[in-house]
Amino acid sequence: MIVVVVAAVALMLFAGVRMSRSRAVAKVKPVGKNGSAAPDFALKSLDGKQVRLSDYRGKAVLLNFWATWCAPCKIEMPWFVDLQKQYASQGLQVIGVAMDDSGEETIAKFAREMGVNYPVLIGKEAVGDAYGGVEFLPTTFIIDRQGKVVDRVFGLVGRSEFEDNIKKALGPGAQANAAPASEKEQAR
């Protein structure tokens, strides 16, 4: 008798989990690597402005979902600061979307301490859902000048992978102009 009850409970749990997953997947349009359009959004920046992704059409965008408590985020943020400096003149815009509940003051203080030189937006779950659900932090989308997703990265990867994807998003000619500012100055 106990075996039958345990089996019935296990079957109900399995079916419930499976049904909830299939419903969650059905609600979220997946944003993929192969040229799917990056969903537009409007979020408030730390300086109080309303920012839309579409404001950056014509630029390549590195869209990074992060949180102040996320250790891998702290590793990659200095890379994004450097990449913003290096590629801004070629049309790159890094945008950070803070996905934690620590409050704007804490997020702003953290961004200052990290030397962030790009817009930081206050994230909303609905925006994360529009991007297929942000289940892992950091999650980063590389978006080309036409608003198409070039790649998405879950978790921490090497800086060179981000840089390679930025070059793809910037389009032809980005490779030739990719030397760091210090190398360009030495060449003069």
Q: What is the pLDDT along the chain (188 residues), one digit of tens a residue?
A: 665 444 444 444 444 434 333 333 333 344 554 588 999 999 999 999 999 999 999 999 999 999 999 999 999 999 999 999 999 999 999 999 999 988 999 999 999 999 999 999 999 999 999 998 888 899 999 999 999 999 999 999 999 999 999 999 998 755 444 444 444 333 33
pTM for the full predicted model: 0.76
Q: How far, in Å, CA of 131 to CA of 98, rounded?
A: 14
Give the amino acid at 185. Answer: E
Q: Measured between alpha carbons, how far is 174 from 42 in angstroms, rounded to an integer?
A: 29
